[in-house]
C-alpha cells in the first residue's frame, strides 16, 4: 500500500539521501521503429550537476511526500515513478516493510531531461542501499521507462535500442553545460507523433575529444531529430535556442530529448554559469559543470 502527498515539511536530516541528476541528450537520432511502435534511438547522454533529491526513512508502508520549487507540477499525479520503482524493488525481493520517501523537485516536469526517470533511479539506488538488496534485473528496471537504466548509473553513456541499450561514452574534455526551459511542458508521445517520416543513421563518434570545441564540432554534425517537431508544438523552444546560441562563448546550442529543455556547451563551467544567469529569469535555467566533471 502506498500514497502520495505534496508540500509537507519533514525534519531536516531525516533518513538517507540520494541525488537524481538531470540527463541531457547531446544528440538524439531516431534510427528506426520496432513492430510494436517503439522508436529506435541513438543518443549520447550526459548528466548535469543539477537535479532532484530523494530521502528515505524507515517506515512500515511506502509513502511519498513532494516539495521543492518544481514540486507543484506533481500535485495531481497519483502514481509517481518513485513509488513504482520502490514497489518494484520491494516486490522483486519479497520485502514487506516500506519507507517514508521525500522528493525535493528541482527539475521541471515533462522537460526532456529525464527528471522522472532520474527520480525512479534514485529510489532504486537509495532503497537498495538502505534495505541491503541488489538492484532488480535490468529488464525489469527498463519497464519503468527506457531512460531509467541509464539514470541508475548516472554516468555518461551511448544509448541505443529504445534507450535501454547502453555502451561506453567517449572520453570527455572539461566543458561547461547550460540548461534552460521556458516552463512549458512537452508531451513525449506528442512530439514523436509530430515527427516527419524518415530515420537518421547512428552517429560516428571518436573515442575521446581533446577539447570542448572539438567535442562541439563533432556533435554539430549530429542532430536531435525531435527538435523540429518540438519547435512546431512549442515555438518557445526556438526562442530558448536562439537565446542560448547568442551567449558569449557558446559552442553549441541544441534541445535535449523531447524538449522543451535546451542546452548549451561552453569551454568551462564558469562561462556556462554566467551565460545561464543572463537568460530571462522567468525561465528555469542552470549553468555549471556536468555531474561527471
Flag whether 4 is in a domain: no
pLDDT band, very low/low/confident/very high, at 8 (cuts 50, 70, 90)? very low
Q: Determine whether the annotation assigns residue 110 to a binding site.
A: yes
Asked if the structure places residue 250 within a domain, the reply is yes
Q: Is residue 279 part of a domain?
A: yes
Same domain, 137 and 222: no
Q: Is 23 a catalytic residue?
A: yes
Position 2 scores a pLDDT of: 41
Total number of domains in the chain? 2
- Identify the band that residue 9 occupies on the pLDDT scale cut at 50, 70 and 90: very low
Instruction: Check pLDDT > 70 for residue 253.
Output: yes
Average pLDDT over residues 266-287: 98
Ranges assigned E (strand) in the chain: 2-6, 16-33, 39-59, 62-67, 98-104, 157-160, 165-168, 176-181, 252-255, 262-266, 284-288
> Does one domain contain both 31 and 117?
yes
Verify that 199 and 117 share a domain, yes or no.
no
149 in the same domain as 226: no
Q: Confirm if 158 and 167 have CB atoms less than 8 A apart.
A: yes
CATH number for 202: 3.30.70.890
The catalytic residue among 42, 52, 119, 147 is 147
pLDDT score for 15 = 61
| Angle at 241 (CA atoms; ends 237, 242), nearest 5 degrees | 115
User: What digits encode the pLDDT tens for the residues 228-241?
Assistant: 999 999 999 999 99
Give yes or no: residues 155 and 192 share one domain: no
Question: Looking at residue 210, what is its pLDDT?
Answer: 97
Residue ending a domain, among 114, 135, 160, is 160
113 is annotated as contributing to ligand binding: yes
137 and 177 both lie in a single domain: no
Within-domain flag for 174 = yes
Provide, rounded to the nearest whole percent, the portion of the chain with pLDDT above 70: 93
Residue 209 backbone phi and psi in degrees, to 5: -125, 140
Confirm or deny that 13 is annotated as ligand binding.
no
Q: What is the span of the domain harbouring residue 280?
A: 170-288
**With bands split at pLDDT 50, 70 and 90, how would you rate the model's confidence at 77?**
low
Rg, the chain, Cα only: 19
114 annotated as belonging to a binding site for a ligand = yes
Question: Based on the domain organization, do 178 and 281 belong to the same domain?
Answer: yes
Task: Give me the CATH number covering residue 21.
Answer: 3.30.230.10
Residues 152 and 30 both lie in one domain: yes
32 and 152 in a single domain? The answer is: yes
Please report, for residues 106, 118, 231, the alpha-carbon distance to residue 70 in angstroms, rounded to integers and kept in the order given: 5, 15, 23
| Mean pLDDT, residues 180-185 taken together | 96
Tell me the C-alpha to C-alpha distance, in Å, between residue 155 and each of 22, 76, 114, 151.
11, 31, 13, 8
The answer to whether residue 187 sits within a structural domain is yes
The answer to whether residues 20 and 53 touch, using CB atoms and an 8 Å cutoff, is yes
Residue 141 marked as a ligand binder: no
Which residue, of 116, 131, 160, is where some domain finishes? 160
Q: In this structure, is residue 127 part of a structural domain?
A: yes
**119 given a catalytic annotation:** no
| Domain termination site, one of 160, 186, 203 | 160
Same domain, residue pair 104 and 148? yes
Residues 37 and 57 in one domain: yes
pTM for this predicted structure: 0.92
pLDDT digits (tens, 9 = 90+) for 113-150: 999 999 999 999 999 999 999 999 989 999 999 999 99
Catalytic residue among 23, 42, 52, 105: 23
Main-chain dihedrals φ then ψ at residue 34, nearest 5 degrees: -80, 165
Question: Does 6 map to a domain?
Answer: no
Instruction: Assess if residue 57 is contained within a domain.
Output: yes
| Same-domain check for residues 52 and 130 | yes
260-270: average pLDDT: 98
Comparing 8-12, 176-180, 273-277, the range with the smallest average pLDDT is: 8-12
pLDDT of residue 7: 35
Query: What is 194-262 written as a DSSP string?
Result: HSPS---PPP---SB-SSHHHHHHHHHTS-BTTHHHHHHH-THHHHHHHHHHTSTT--EEEE-TTSS-E
Q: Categorize the per-residue pLDDT at 190 as very low, low, confident or very high, splitting at 50, 70 and 90.
A: very high
Amino acid at each position: 500500500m502506498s500514497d502520495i502527498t505534496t508540500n509537507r515539511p519533514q525534519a531536516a536530516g531525516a533518513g538517507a539521501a540520494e541525488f537524481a541528476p538531470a540527463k541531457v541528450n547531446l544528440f538524439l537520432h531516431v534510427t528506426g521503429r520496432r513492430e510494436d511502435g517503439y522508436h529506435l534511438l541513438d543518443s549520447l547522454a550526459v548528466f548535469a550537476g543539477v537535479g532532484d533529491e530523494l530521502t528515505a526513512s524507515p517506515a512500515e508502508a511506502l509513502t511519498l511526500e513532494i516539495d521543492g520549487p518544481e514540486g507543484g507540477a506533481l500535485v495531481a499525479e497519483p502514481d509517481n515513478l518513485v513509488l513504482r520503482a520502490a514497489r518494484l524493488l520491494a516486490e522483486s525481493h519479497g520485502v514487506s516493510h516500506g519507507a517514508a520517501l521525500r522528493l525535493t523537485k528541482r527539475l521541471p516536469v515533462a522537460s526532456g531531461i529525464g527528471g522522472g526517470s532520474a527520480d525512479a533511479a534514485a529510489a532504486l539506488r537509495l532503497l537498495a542501499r538502505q534495505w541491503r538488496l541488489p538492484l532488480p534485473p535490468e529488464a525489469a528496471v527498463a519497464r519503468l521507462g527506457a531512460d531509467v537504466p541509464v539514470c541508475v548509473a548516472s554516468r555518461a553513456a551511448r544509448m541505443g535500442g529504445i534507450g535501454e541499450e547502453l555502451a561506453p561514452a567517449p572520453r570527455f574534455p572539461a566543458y561547461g553545460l547550460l540548461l534552460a526551459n521556458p516552463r512549458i511542458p512537452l508531451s513525449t508521445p506528442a512530439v514523436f507523433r509530430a515527427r516527419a517520416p524518415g530515420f537518421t543513421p547512428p552517429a560516428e563518434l571518436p573515442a575521446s575529444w581533446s577539447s570542448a570545441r572539438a567535442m562541439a564540432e563533432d556533435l554539430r554534425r549530429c542532430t536531435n531529430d525531435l527538435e523540429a517537431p518540438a519547435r512546431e508544438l512549442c515555438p518557445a523552444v526556438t526562442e530558448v535556442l536562439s537565446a542560448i546560441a547568442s551567449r558569449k562563448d557558446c559552442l553549441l546550442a541544441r534541445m535535449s530529448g523531447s524538449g522543451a529543455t535546451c542546452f548549451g556547451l561552453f569551454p568551462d563551467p564558469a562561462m556556462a554559469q554566467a551565460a545561464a544567469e543572463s537568460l530571462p529569469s522567468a525561465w528555469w535555467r542552470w549553468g555549471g559543470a556536468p555531474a561527471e566533471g
